[in-house]
Each structure stands twice: as structure tokens, then as C-alpha cells.
Amino acid sequence: MSYVSLFEVLRVGPGPSSTHTAGPYHAARRFVHELAAAGRLTHAARLGVELYGGAACGGRDNGAAGALVAGLESRELRQCDAVTLAARLAQASAAREVALGGRHKTAFDPAADIGFRIDRALAWDGNAVRFAAFDRAGAVLADRVYLTPGDDRVLAPGEPPGPAPRVPYECASADDLIQHCRKSGRKIAVLALANETALRGPAEVRSRLGVLHEAMREAVSRGLDAGVSPGVHRRARIAPDRAVRLADAATPAHERCAILALAAAERNAAGASVVAAPSNGAGGTVAGVLVHALDAQPESADARAVDFLATAGAVGALLRAQGLRQVGCQGEIGVASAMAAAGYTAVLGGTPHQILHAAETALKAHLGLGCDPHNGRIETPCIDRCETAAARACTAALAAVRVPSPPIAFDRVAASMIESGRALAGRFKQASLGGIALSVPDC
């Protein structure tokens, strides 16, 4: 089982969707890099792109076209948001060309040359993007298909996994993690940081965690601001109206977490730059609980943010490594709730057993949850699920620290989710093909 980094499950980038926005971007960028590596970039005269699976079903409504243009031009994704992507798409549409790699202009009309193929599927299950480049004579220079399974990963069909990095604390299960904590006498956050610093410098690790912290705070803060432009977000925003409850000292912790998560989720749906945790659509959950946890006890906020994010990332990475991905919304909002519960328990001073118990409690509440956003947009019911998951994570953390030696069935819950995900019909794992997406006419 290969190591999954904290920074694979915690990533800064534009909303609204890891599948429909970030996935096509990373696929486009890889295609350009491979063209350049083969010495064919400057020979490309025209491009064609096709999206399949969930990327096709929800791509139009979640900024896939703008993300593709940004990827083809090798722009830095962290510096993009919905406004930037829309502007690049408009410029490419007007000029009917893109600058591949930022330097080689190639004919490309997004309206005509991007196909959202909801009428057909490739041999591989899941989301996929196909690129074709042609020379001036119309001959094919390159024809590539990339799978985008989420977490900013891009794979070619049949591509073997890369070499697994060596880290000091390899964990295939929660039991492994507990054993490492027991033998070393260290917290989960410390083990996670030790693994990351085996791959990159300690200063870089803490700097990147600091960036994640600030990005989450900004998403929540601006999501509560009534003056924020709605961008591509069509649902009426709710968080600013509910923000008054945050000023009331009697408002319970779980409600505070829910309101803060709602703000971040609405910010994501508007296409703003947010933190995917583990995905954009589920990102409001961890952000909301983080902000509440630190504001409730503001002393040493930076150090506590590191503990929260390192612990949350370790739990998310463990679930991803065990195979909990592309199994419906249980693998996104369920994992997000587990991550948030783990991080909150850590800053409350919980033991490794209490942290994993809280994560397990939050996770199992989402068993069997399918993916069914209305009209394929990361709004309904995605935003509401972030709000509920944050409240659930909060109560799980507060309950866990009251149990001195809680039982742990974390690995069995994860295995059950993976099994149920395999049993879910494909329409419950693709946007707009089942569930609420079809049975609720107006959300």
C-alpha cells in the first residue's frame, strides 16, 4: 500500500469541484507536458478535448472548460478562481486559440472543440478526459486519455503506480497507526509530520500547513460576508444570514461548526479559491470545524492549527490509502467528517484512541451515501451535507474525549464503506445520474 501524503488530501485550489474543475485542469497540464517532452508541442496546430463520466455530466456547470484552458496554458491553479478561469475561457473563445504551455499559440475554440460526452463511455470506469493534437496537415500528433480519480491525481489507463516513497511510519491500518503511537510515545500529528519531513524540508511542511490554515480561514470569513459576489453560485446564500448566531454565546458548538462549514461550502460553490479536504465539494466541513476549534481556544493558534491539520490529514490519507475513494459521497463528505472529528479531538487533547474513535463515529454516519447533486452543481445537497457533517464531527469529537479508553473499529467501518461503494450502482457515483438529482425537481 503506497503512502498518501497530507497534501494529497488537503489542497488549495479553485472551486467548485475536484472532479469537474481540478481534474480536467491537471489532465490538460499533463497532456501539454507530455507533448513538450516528446518534442511535438511547437508542431501542434489544433486541439480537441472530450470529457467522459462524471466530468462530462457536471463539467459544464462547474467550470471545466475554463479549467481546461488554464491547464493547457500551464497557469498556476492556486492563483486561479472562478473569475480568473471565466476570463481565460472568454479570451480563448474570442481568439479561438490557446497558448500551449503559455508560449505556443494553437487553434482551439472551446465551444466547438470541447465535447461533454454524456452519450458514450470509455472502457474505463469513472471520470476521464481525452486530448488530441493535430499538425497543420491534420495529422494526429498525440491522442491521450487520462483518468481523473480525484485528489488532483491523473493516470493513464493501465499506468502502473509510481515508486512508493519511504517514510518512517508506514500505516496500512488504524491498528498500525496506534502501534506506532504506542511504541514511539508520539501523537498522530507528530508521526504525520515526521513522515512529511522525510519527503520535504520541515520549514516547507509547516509553511504549507500555514497556507492551508489561512486559506480555510479566508474561505469561512469571506463566506460569512454578505458583500461577497456570488460568482457562478446560483443558490441563494444562507451563511451571512445565519452568522448572527455566532455572536450569541449560547449557540452550541455543533451549530457554530455547521454555520462556519456552510460559509466555506458556499464560498467553494461560488468557485473561489478554497481548500479541498479531501475534495472541493466536501471542503467546507474541515474548514468550519478548524475555525471553530481554534477560535474556541485561541491561544497558540498556529501550533494548534498544525496539530489539527496534521491529524486530520493523517486520517484522510489513511482512508484514501485503504481505498475509500470514488465510492459516492460517503467517500468525500464521510471522509471529510472523519478528518474534522480527528483534528478537533487532537486540539482538545485527545489520545490516539480517542482521535480514531471520533473519526470512526463521524465516518460511519455517512455509510452508503451516494453522489447526487442537483443539476450536477456542487450546491444541493453538497453544501447542506458539509453543514451536517461538520456538526456531526463536532459532536463526535466532544463525545470521544469523554471516554478514557474507547473501542476502535475504524478499519472495519472503512472496509464496510468500500464494500458498499462497490455495490452502489454507477449512477450514485456520478453527478446528476441518480438519487436527489433525479427525484427532486427543484432543490
Predicted local distance difference test score (pLDDT) of residue 67: 95
Shared domain check, 305 and 270: yes
Cβ atoms within 10 Å, residue 247: 7
Residue 161 lies in a domain: no
Is position 193 within any domain?
yes
Tell whether the model's pLDDT for residue 232 goes beyond 50: no
Q: Among the three residues 155, 184, 201, which one is the final residue of a domain in this structure? A: 155
Residue at 168 is within a domain:
no
Burial letters 2-24, b for 16+ CB under 10 A, else e: ebbbbbbbbbbbbbbbbbbbbbb
The reported pLDDT for the residue numbered 171 is 93
115 and 183 in a single domain? The answer is no
Query: Looking at the structure, do residues 145 and 264 belong to the same domain, yes or no?
Result: no
Are residues 309 and 218 part of one domain?
A: yes
Supply the range of the domain harboring residue 64.
13-155
Percentage of residues in the chain with pLDDT exceeding 70? Answer: 92
Range with lowest mean pLDDT among 58-67, 277-286, 420-429: 420-429
pLDDT (tens digit, 9 = 90+) per residue, 110-166? 999 999 998 887 776 578 999 999 999 999 999 999 998 888 889 898 887 777 789
Q: Is the pLDDT of residue 208 over 70?
A: yes
pLDDT of 434 > 60? The answer is no
Confidence at residue 325, expressed as pLDDT on a 0 to 100 scale? 82
Q: Residue range 59-69: average pLDDT?
A: 90
Return the beta strands (E) in 135-205 as ranges. Answer: 140-150, 153-155
Q: Look at residue 307 and tell me whether its pLDDT is greater than 50.
A: yes
Phi, psi of 411, rounded to the nearest 5 degrees: -65, -35
Find all residues with CB under 8 Å of 283, minimum gap 6, and list them.
Answer: 15, 219, 264, 265, 268, 274, 275, 276, 277, 336, 386
Task: Check residue 234 and give its pLDDT.
Answer: 58
Last residue of a domain, one of 122, 155, 188: 155
CA distance 91 to 233: 22
On whether both 101 and 221 belong to a single domain, the answer is no
Cell matching residue 235: 443558490
In a domain, residue 358? The reply is yes
Q: Are strands 153-155 and 140-150 parallel, antiparallel or unpaired?
A: antiparallel
Predicted pLDDT at 237: 84
Average pLDDT for 268-296: 95
Q: Per-residue pLDDT averaged across 344-350, rounded?
A: 97
Decide which of 307 and 236 is more confident.
307
In a domain, 231, yes or no: yes
Residue 285 shares a structural domain with residue 318: yes
Round to whole Å and give the CA distance between 177 and 181: 6
Mean pLDDT value across residues 193-212? 97
Question: Cα–Cα distance between 4 and 290 in angstroms, integer?
Answer: 22
Do 342 and 404 belong to one domain? yes
pLDDT, position 79: 83
* Contact residues for 295 (Cβ-Cβ < 8 A; gap 6+): none
Backbone angles phi, psi at 440, to 5 degrees: -110, 110
Asked whether the predicted pLDDT for residue 334 surpasses 90, the reply is yes
Residue at a domain's end among 124, 155, 186:
155
Asked if 140 and 205 sit in the same domain, the reply is no
Q: Cβ distance 108 to 47 under 8 Å? A: yes
**Is 238 inside any structural domain?**
yes
DSSP of 225-250 = -TTS--TT--SPP-HHHHGGGGG-TT
CB atoms closer than 10 angstroms to residue 158: 7
In a domain, 7, yes or no: no
Mean pLDDT of 212-220: 97
Q: Are residues 106 and 219 in the same domain?
A: no
Residue 169 located in a structural domain: no
Q: What pLDDT was estimated at residue 425?
A: 67
Q: How confident is the model at residue 429 (pLDDT cuts 50, 70, 90)?
A: low
Grid cell 455495490 in the structure block, residue? 423
Q: By the 8 A CB rule, do 146 and 31 touch?
A: yes
Looking at the fold, whether 129 and 217 belong to one and the same domain comes out as: no
What are the pLDDT digits (tens) for 70-106?
999 999 988 888 889 999 999 999 999 999 999 999 9
User: Is the predicted pLDDT of residue 437 greater than 60, yes or no?
Assistant: no
443 band by pLDDT with thresholds 50, 70 and 90: very low
Tell whether the model's pLDDT for residue 57 goes beyond 90.
no
Provide the CATH number for the domain around residue 30.
Answer: 3.30.1330.90
Global model pTM greater than 0.85: yes
**Mean model confidence pLDDT for the chain:** 90
Segment 353-361 shows an average pLDDT of: 98
User: What pLDDT sits at residue 385?
Assistant: 94
Q: Which three cell numbers mark 268?
A: 467553494
Residues 151 and 188 in one domain: no
d(CA 266, CA 277): 15
State yes or no: pLDDT of 235 exceeds 80.
Answer: no
Count: domains in the chain = 2
- What is the structure's pLDDT at 422? 82
Beta strands in 43-112 (DSSP E): 46-52, 97-100, 104-107
Percent over 90 (pLDDT), the chain: 71
- Shared domain for 124 and 181, answered yes or no, is no
Q: For residue 292, which of 254, 327, 262 has the smallest C-alpha distance?
A: 254
Give yes or no for residue 373 having a pLDDT over 60: yes
Rounded CA-CA distance 79/151 in Å is 18
